[in-house]
Amino acid sequence: MAGSKSAKAELSRPPGKEAAQPRITVLGIGNLLLRDEGVGIHLIQRLADKVNSPNIKLIDGGTTPDILSLVDNNIDKLIIIDAAVVGDKPGTIYRFDIDDLDPGEPSPMSLHELGLVNSLKIMNLFGNCPKEVTIIGVEPKVVDYGLKLSPELEKKMPRLMELVLNEINKTNTYMEVER
């Protein structure tokens, strides 16, 4: 994970500030085998070259049903990246809060259906919720078997990366992550 660029970012952190660093987690979810559906995982893989700091966790969540088992309790910020079907042009990037998501998930029949909203609600229920949750969604073009993103989404990846780094830096007041 640690490249020379991120080592430089490491050095830019003020000494002695480690304990006070805000805890940030970037969680990509989706299926890497279903092309644009896996955009969150693609982003996490690319982010790994840019971010190397003990207070920032990058998690490749795959299609795990209960994200709360992957995210630490009481962190300062959780940034979730996932494909989002809203209906706009493929590659459109959205920013949501939890309250914007469809809460009407029916009670699940299989573990696959536990869902993001329910997981966050459970976390909230027990007072373990991240202080701030931001969801960044990307409108998919192709959800079908394959390992590559569609050209439309591939074109948007630099912008998506920039937006996620902005989200990190908004909270990560002690350091600027290397762009």
Applying CB under 8 A, does 95 fall inside the site for another protein? yes
Applying CB under 8 A, does 61 fall inside the site for another protein? yes
Applying CB under 8 A, does 177 fall inside the site for another protein? no
Give the number of other Cβ atoms within 10 Å of residue 86's Cβ: 10
Applying CB under 8 A, does 169 fall inside the site for another protein? no
- Part of the chain binding another protein (CB under 8 A), chosen from 5-13, 45-53, 124-132, 168-176: 124-132
From the list 73, 76, 83, the residue with the least C-alpha distance to 42 is 83
In the numeric block, the tokens 């573990």 are attached to 111
- Are the CB atoms for 136 and 86 separated by under 8 Å? no
Paired tokens of 165:
């780094």
Strand, coil or helix: 40: helix
Applying CB under 8 A, does 64 fall inside the site for another protein? yes
Judged by the rule CB under 8 A, the positions of this chain that interact with another protein are 29-34, 37, 60-66, 68-70, 82-88, 92-97, 99-103, 105-114, 116-118, 121-122, 125-127, 135, 137, 140, 143, 145-147, 156, 159-160, 163
